[in-house]
Amino acid sequence: MKLGARDIPNAISLLRIILVVPVAMLLMDKRFDWALSLFVIAAVSDGLDGYLAKHYGWTSRLGSLLDPIADKMLLVTCFVLSGWLGLIPMWLVWAVILRDLLIVLGATSYHYLFGPFMGEPTLISKLNTVIQIALVVLVIFDQGFVALPEELIEVLIYAVLATTVVSGLGYASIWLRRAITHCQN
């Protein structure tokens, strides 16, 4: 199989998936400086692969699956380990995981019950992701570089919780409306 320029975004997504392991190992070893560096590289590469795919039309079905999988693997891993290390509350970790499970189960159920669909992230879901990333970055920064005000971390914790709940309910509503519409047709 010959790889070309249009495969670059998928290769970058695969690189992000590979980066999950060293980020996790560094977090477990409490090497927060290096963990944050790799996390930032992964975040920048996420923007780069999205730009390349959209700007040059290098989109693919594989890319539409790899990109969110890479994002979720990295974020969920960082959330779970941050909770395990006591850097964020475990109840927040569970809220984030349950929301992601709701989305995956809803999408999978819809696919098997009604057929293919195009998943589009909602505005609140995008905001949730940005706040999750900010929380992870600041928690790791707080541990590895400079202590940040506890209030800042706490505000982000509750912002993640609020956007997690609202976006989870939003997705549940979308799946329900789509199912009802499909059944009525």
Q: For the segment 127-181, what is each residue's pLDDT rounded down to a tens digit?
A: 998 999 999 999 999 998 899 999 999 999 999 999 999 999 998 888 888 888 8
Give the count of domains, the chain: 1
Q: What is the pLDDT of residues 52-109, one digit of tens each?
A: 888 888 888 787 788 888 988 999 999 999 999 999 999 999 999 999 998 888 888 8
State which residues form the domain around 103. 5-184
- 42 φ, ψ to 5°? -65, -40
pTM: 0.86
CA proximity to 128, closest of 162, 89, 82: 162
CATH number of the domain bearing residue 151: 1.20.120.1760
